[in-house]
Chain A
Amino acid sequence: MAEKQLMKGNEALSEGAVRAGCRFFAGYPITPQNEVPEYMSWRLPQVGGAFIQSESEVAAINVIYGAAATGVRSMTSSSSPGISLKQEGISYCAGADLPFLIANVMRGGPGLGNIAGAQGDYFQSTRGGGHGDYRLYVMAPNCVQEMFDFPKRCYETAYKYRIPSMILADGTLGQMMEGVEIKWPEIDVKTIEKPKWSLGINTERRERRMVGSYDLRDGMLEKMVLERVKRYKEIEEKEVLWEEKMTEDAEIILVAYGISSRVAFAGCKMAREKGIKAGLLRPITLWPFPKKRLAELAPKTKNFLAVEMSLGQMVEDVRLAVNGATNVNLFARPGGSPIFAEEVYKAIEDIVKKGAKEYATVK
């Protein structure tokens, strides 16, 4: 095994994307994701790619709309307020079935909020985010290694199903440094076949191609959306990812994603030391959400505890999956405040030992 490299989350994300074949980036500065455009600005020209610092997030996503339409693996990144600005363009990309990668290094909100890590964009990310019926394939890394590894899977899924993909990280993951092991070979973009739908030079005298998201003819838009929904169903069946730790005998199962999942797991370990059988289910894809697995686990455990750095967003997906089969509790810290293992443990103890039901702590 080669020695690990010490990498910052945002840089690992950028390098991981480039190695996964990203050759086009457009973005606009916003803390805490600035290292992504900075890195891409020098890295992409090295591999013959293009970088554009656009005049706004609105322009950035539309530059990507154009680039993605030519079939090039493209990427944009931002943080919460900037992602809000990109929603119109993301909706158009989804409506035009364009695959690309968008990274949201979340910060505290709403509004300008603050620049600390937060998870307040869960609803926005997992429900589509912009106008209309659509979804994004959303992956939530919980360490710098996954910041490096996940762009590859995002591109693969995005191109396979023609869906925009998102990496939902947060300021902590973006700014922290950890050891990264390079486990997979760099993708040779020459081996990637140009998609059949991509715009470009028409040397083979093919039929002209159109990329767009509208159809005003009677009933045609519904047909278009329903065709897309078929792909969504397949993604829900085949592409859902999660990780479980110590759930086999758990009387309480914590559900947490991203940086919160690490703190939640530390809380589980503290509980185990005190004789409380706690376990963790970490959704790795937020859409599709591991709802089937949660439903399977529901009859086997007494409690679920959602742990999130938002005002109780992911907990709604847990409740939908569990569908009343057992208690679903919440530990939440909004506004860019970090969660610590001790307070997670305290919540576990309150629920398991004091029998708190419908426990909902917003600290």
Chain B
Amino acid sequence: MQLLNEKPKSLLDIQMHYCPGCGHGIIHRLVAEAMDELNIREKTIGVAPVGCAVFADHYFNCDMIQGPHGRGPAIATGIKRSVPESVVFSYQGDGDLASIGMGEIVHAAARGEKLTVIFVNNAIYGMTGGQMAPTTLIGQKSTTTVDGRKPEINGFPIRMCEMLSTLDGVVYAERTTVHNVAGVVKSKNAIKKAFQNQIENKGFSIVEILSMCPTNWGTRLDNPSEATKYISDSMVKVFPPGVYKDISAK
């Protein structure tokens, strides 16, 4: 019998708490596969956020730290500058990275910290029960925008990859999705590249991954297949996937 696939060694064999149809589980696996394939598990230190992925420190089979909401890039900076030969990644959601932690992500990027940032954008606050996120789409319903997000009251969604790619410290910024197989493959390659850039000491890399939240996207979308459609029909129009910056070859 031939073994075709197995759980990555960089992922612990315990049950995750994520909801059915959530993208976090897929993204965790992709990060772990990238670590395995690059053979960096023994020197990788991960930073878990506050938000749905708060328990990420229980899932990855490498040294992990969990810190205050939004401060992942600052914590990662402290680790990386203390142990420069390590590989440090910060795993963050949209509230964590693009709202409360906007200062930390922008300045870590501006300093050109040699870090890998995995940014999971599902356009909603998941853990706290579906409030508006900085990336919530115009018209999207949440528990704090019950009639849908209105620009005149709630402002506009923030495009992080576009913004960060203007900073000289950023080497690589790509947006991908995990709502279909092609997206998953692209996400995996992007994550691997973001790690590779750090291994080669090139600078700051961020992969923004559009991800499903069937639980908090409202009843109409409360099933995984409807949720994937919301990404392909709506999210990609506001957050177009693609490579926003790549100067890693220079």
CB atoms of A and B under 8 A apart anywhere in the complex? Answer: yes
Chain A stretch 272-298: residues in CB contact (< 8 A) with chain B: none
Write out the residue numbers on chain B whose beta carbons fall within 8 Å of the beta carbon of A50.
81-82
Interface residues in A, total, Cβ within 8 A: 38
Is A32 in contact with chain B by the CB < 8 A criterion?
A: no
A210 in contact with B68 given A66-B77, A68-B78, A69-B79 (CB within 8 Å) = no
Q: Does A181 contact B (CB under 8 A)?
A: no
The answer to whether A67 touches B104 (Cβ under 8 A) is no
Complex CA distance for A232 and B139, rounded to whole angstroms: 52
B143 is an interface residue with CB less than 8 A from chain A: no
A62: CB under 8 A from chain B? yes
Please measure, in the bound complex, the distance between the C-alpha atom of A276 and the C-alpha atom of B103, giving whole angstroms. 58
Q: Is the CB of B103 within 8 A of A55?
A: yes
Interface hub of A69, A203, A214 (most chain B Cβ within 10 A): A69
Which listed segment binds A: B42-50, B117-125, B187-195? B42-50
Q: Which residues of A contact B48 (CB under 8 A)?
A: 212
- Assuming the A-B contacts A56-B103, A201-B43, A202-B63, are A212 and B79 also in contact, with contact meaning beta carbons closer than 8 angstroms in the complex? no
CB contacts between A and B, total, < 8 Å: 127
Say yes or no for A205: interface residue by CB 8 A criterion. Answer: yes
Least Cβ distance of B216 to chain A in Å? 20
Interface residues of B toward A: which range?
Answer: 35 or more
Q: How far is the CA of A24 from the CA of B75 in the complex (A)?
A: 13
- Of B45, B76, B80, B107, chain A has the most CB atoms within 10 Å of the CB of B45
A63: chain B residues within 8 A (beta carbon):
74-75, 77-78, 81
Give bound CA distance, A276 to B75, whole Å: 56
Question: Given the interface contacts A55-B104, A89-B71, does A66 sit within 8 Å of B62 by beta carbon?
Answer: no
Q: Return B248 CB to nearest CB of chain A, in Å.
A: 24
B63, B75, B83: which contacts A208 (Cβ < 8 A)? B63
Interface 0/1 of A40-77, CB less than 8 Å to B = 00000000001010111011101111111110101000
Tell me, yes or no, whether B66 is within 8 Å of chain A by CB: yes
A 91-109 binary contact with B (CB < 8 Å = 1; else 0): 0100010000000000000
Task: Decide if A213 is an interface residue (CB 8 Å cutoff).
Answer: yes
**Which residues of A in the span 205-226 have a Cβ within 8 Å of any Cβ on B?**
205, 208-214
Cβ of B16 to closest chain A Cβ, rounded Å: 14
> CA A210 – CA B64 in complex, angstroms?
5
- Contact present for A52 and B42 (CB under 8 Å): no
Given the complex, which residues of B lie within 8 Å of A203, measured CB to CB? 42
A104-117 vs B, CB cutoff 8 Å, 1 = contact: the mask equals 00000000000000
Q: Which residues of B contact A (CB under 8 A)?
A: 41-43, 45, 47-48, 54, 57-58, 61-68, 71, 74-83, 85-86, 103-104, 106-107, 111
> Which 8 A-B residue pairings sit nearest by Cβ, starting from the closest?
A66-B78, A62-B74, A67-B78, A212-B66, A62-B71, A66-B75, A55-B107, A63-B78
